[in-house]
Structure 1
């Protein structure tokens, strides 16, 4: 016996990879069905690189595939749903998906939406008939922003 409790001969036996796979995959398949695991793993190959960039399969339950997608892609996916379901079922080899549920959320790996460029506030408008103070400053700044916005439109 060795320190780890096994006899030294056990390490010399060769086992096929197929014999080891059930023990390795059992924990993953307890959480998800084999079809769901295949869809998650092969998503980019099933739907293509363009749709894979803006969609993520979230879960497959009772024939309903929940897809996370970026905002405007949801409408496009509604129109592509029959074709997308056919592609998924062709890849799985059976009718694993009957319908799609679209959830608009941020997709991991997608770039965040661009922030508007920060601008310096425009100089305040002069208000001659008012005494100096915080009210005059606030009204001058408000007038300058209103004028700036009117110029842009």
Structure 2
């Protein structure tokens, strides 16, 4: 018999996926997704061309009482404006890939919504140069490392540590 008085509480380490599933499930359900699998595997489903420029928004399932309802669901996909026309021409291919991932013909239509998908990238800011004393400390610390590549990598790491310690 287990020493744990509450059998629902697991002891030991758990994967982040197991812990976050209960948080993500209501959000996915609100947007029509049964699970987060379609969202998390989106880049693999649509391929590298659309991985960073498209994003599934929600799935709209037809109502049972509608006589003219389509046979499957409608997947709303947000697309960067420049890629919308390309996705529209490849709608059939995308539907095949999506339904192939799901394992059945769940989605019969794509609704393309233009909007920003990719977040603007921040320009990399070069760290301020180290003082001569800090530079000497970094070089002295890793001087005994025989491998040139490893020594250079450790020097870069040391410079980064000093630079991050100076940030406000």
Please report the TM-score for the alignment, with normalisation by the length of structure 2. Answer: 0.49
Match of 1:100 in 2: 110
Match of 1:4 in 2: none
The offset of 1:37, in angstroms, is 2.6
The offset of 1:71, in angstroms, is 1.2
Return the match for 1:87 from 92, 97, 106.
97
Superposed CA offset, 1:20-76 (max 9, x none): 89x937535542445563221110010112211111111111211111111121111
Say yes or no: does 1:46 pair with 2:56.
no
Runs (5+) with no aligned partner, structure 2: 62-72, 123-168
Task: Decide whether aligned partners of structure 1 residues 69 and 36 sit closer, same or farther in structure 2, where only a CA change above 3 A counts.
Answer: farther
Query: For residues 106 and 26 of structure 1, what CA distance do their matches in structure 2 show?
Result: 25
Match of 1:37 in 2: 36
Larger radius of gyration: 1
Query: For residues 26 and 68 of structure 1, what CA distance do their matches in structure 2 show?
Result: 21
Match of 1:71 in 2: 81
Aligned residues: 102
Task: Please tell me whether the aligned partners of residues 25 and 36 of structure 2 are also in contact (alpha carbons under 8 angstroms).
Answer: no
Task: Decide whether aligned partners of structure 1 residues 9 and 74 sit closer, same or farther in structure 2, where only a CA change above 3 A counts.
Answer: closer
Task: Please tell me whether the aligned partners of residues 38 and 92 of structure 1 are also in contact (alpha carbons under 8 angstroms).
Answer: no
Query: For residues 69 and 26 of structure 1, what CA distance do their matches in structure 2 show?
Result: 24
